[in-house]
Structure 1
Amino acid sequence: MKVRAAVGETLAAIRHAVHGTNSLIGDAVAVYFRSADVALAFTEAFPLALANDTMVRTDYSPEVPFGRQEKEDVCNLYSMTTAQEAMRRLFPGLSDHAGNLPPLPEIYPDRTAPIIRTGAAGRELVMARWGLPTPPAYLVGKRSDRGVTNVRNTASAHWRRWLRPEFRCLVPFTRFAEPDHQRGGNVWFALPEEVPGFFAGIQVPQWRSVRKIKDGETVDDLFGFLTCPPNAEVAAIHPKAMPVILTKPAEWEIWLTAPATEATALQRPLDDGRLIIDSAAR
């Protein structure tokens, strides 16, 4: 098999095992390494650039959820305690469909949280479920889709379809947490009190899926948000990524309305020195 032979030549000097097969849909190859360090060294040296007809690469380890290419538990916890009235002041004419929204000091994946999106009648504040549809290649053999909380690779065909303006949203936040692997627990980051903060989000309305087996099929408005390399404050705790944070009205407008090429240019770290560590939330 051509794929297996090509990979085997590259791996000749590395302790590994390779399993290859072919079928009606094409060639497939699985590579097994003895340790994560060896696997990481291989993927850095041989990035497996995929041809147009090649399925998405999937890395798997007993310590990493299926379909994830690294242990990147970036921002899977945040809070939103800003009053609805404050958001209405920021967005004149905002239609509020969030009901009586209490402070949300801990928002975890699969919970509902407020987002601002563009509806048929203009900007609206609605509640949505945190976790975007998972790429189909990662759902093979699974009975449910727990969702994807963060999006890094906006060039992926799976995400490109939802980068049009009608699918973009702003996710208001007060603080967000990153895991501290050195000392344990979480470190909470916040903007200065006078600065409103929003994650650059993607929302998929009325998505039909099985999120939990016990609940069966449900129809949900879903959301997630973009990540990017970290700035200095976050990198000291989490060196791989941070959420894309928008703090200026011009940025909010670009993200909600501009063509995808202009909007995705906002996928960059917040300037160094802009975040504070919220010791009260640690």
Structure 2
Amino acid sequence: MCGRYANARGAAELSAFFEAYDETGGQLSAAYNIAPTDPVPLVRAEGATRRLSMARWGLPRPWDRRSRQVMINARSETVATSRAFSAAFARRRCLIPADGWYEWVPLPDGVRRPYFMTPHDGAPLAFAGLWNPAGDGAACAVITTAAYGGLAEVHDRMPLVLPAPAWQRWLHSDDPVADLLAGGGADWAAGIEIRPVGRAVGDIHNDGPALIARAAASQVPSAAAGPAEMTLF
């Protein structure tokens, strides 16, 4: 799954990178600990124009509008047919910019060690996403897929990341995209750093660049290495 991620890039950088018109209205700021219901940037298409705008992370449940629970992830395997996501998949696909995402690996002593997955080359990621109108704004969800390569040792699911050549097809509802739901595979995963980080990221009230810094030895739990620990690096 994807339950926490980071995006430290501003609107000017993202609008240039995605070749999108900036409609964020100054609302976008660096966020190193994005959690469900937080405001996040997304890129959507309006005709031939890409637009960078803001949305809340988490789609309301269409069958229970009184519930405060939201749907933050949609599975790539079922997104096209699910009653919760099929309409948005057909008409309102988007890209969700990110620097990387977090997962927690349980260790033998019960401690859960956080990792930050981010490109070795420092480039932004484009998560495949969906959006829907919500009140006077928009809400979105991240599409997830089975994890590839060594990333599967951290968690069995991960965000579906789309390469730049796929963006145009993904954003336009008249283009078939079933092949894109398969993801990038183990070769793509080799370009992702699996970085141990400090436990402060576990508190959603914490923010700042220190959260994505590689953990010093004194910050890393001393439990015996499990299988993931022995093979990730």
Q: What stretches of structure 2 of length at least 5 have no aligned partner?
A: 197-212, 216-233
Aligned to 2:104: 179
- In the alignment, the residues of structure 1 paired with residue 22 and residue 11 of structure 2 have an alpha-carbon distance, to the nearest angstrom, of 11
- In the alignment, the residues of structure 2 paired with residue 93 and residue 228 of structure 1 have an alpha-carbon distance, to the nearest angstrom, of 26
Q: Is the contact made by 1:233 and 1:275 (CA closer than 8 Å) also made in structure 2?
A: no
Q: TM-score, normalised by structure 1?
A: 0.61
Q: Is the contact made by 1:242 and 1:269 (CA closer than 8 Å) also made in structure 2?
A: no
User: How far has the Cα of 1:164 moved from its partner?
Assistant: 2.5
Aligned to 1:255: 170
The answer to whether residue 74 in structure 2 is matched with residue 151 in structure 1 is: yes
Q: Indicate the SS of the match to 2:16.
A: helix
Q: What stretches of structure 1 of length at least 5 have no aligned partner?
A: 1-73, 209-218
Q: Is the contact made by 2:37 and 2:56 (CA closer than 8 Å) also made in structure 1?
A: yes
- In the alignment, the residues of structure 2 paired with residue 113 and residue 93 of structure 1 have an alpha-carbon distance, to the nearest angstrom, of 15
Aligned to 1:269: 183
- Give the greater-gyration-radius structure (CA): 1
Q: Indicate the SS of the match to 1:157.
A: coil
The answer to whether residue 4 in structure 2 is matched with residue 77 in structure 1 is: yes
- In the alignment, the residues of structure 2 paired with residue 269 and residue 97 of structure 1 have an alpha-carbon distance, to the nearest angstrom, of 29
- In the alignment, the residues of structure 1 paired with residue 34 and residue 20 of structure 2 have an alpha-carbon distance, to the nearest angstrom, of 27
The answer to whether residue 159 in structure 2 is matched with residue 243 in structure 1 is: yes
Q: TM-score, normalised by structure 2?
A: 0.73
Q: Indicate the SS of the match to 1:255.
A: helix
- Residues 110 and 197 (structure 1 numbering): CA distance in 2 closer, same or farther, change over 3 Å? same
Q: Indicate the SS of the match to 1:278.
A: strand
Aligned to 1:162: 88
AA in 1 matched with 2:93? R
- Residues 75 and 158 (structure 1 numbering): CA distance in 2 closer, same or farther, change over 3 Å? closer
- In the alignment, the residues of structure 2 paired with residue 126 and residue 281 of structure 1 have an alpha-carbon distance, to the nearest angstrom, of 31
Q: Indicate the SS of the match to 1:253.
A: helix
User: How far has the Cα of 1:149 moved from its partner?
Assistant: 0.3
Q: CA RMSD in A?
A: 2.3
Indicate which of 107, 123, 141 corresponds to 1:224: 141
- In the alignment, the residues of structure 1 paired with residue 66 and residue 183 of structure 2 have an alpha-carbon distance, to the nearest angstrom, of 36
User: How far has the Cα of 1:93 moved from its partner?
Assistant: 5.2
Q: Is the contact made by 1:97 and 1:124 (CA closer than 8 Å) also made in structure 2?
A: no
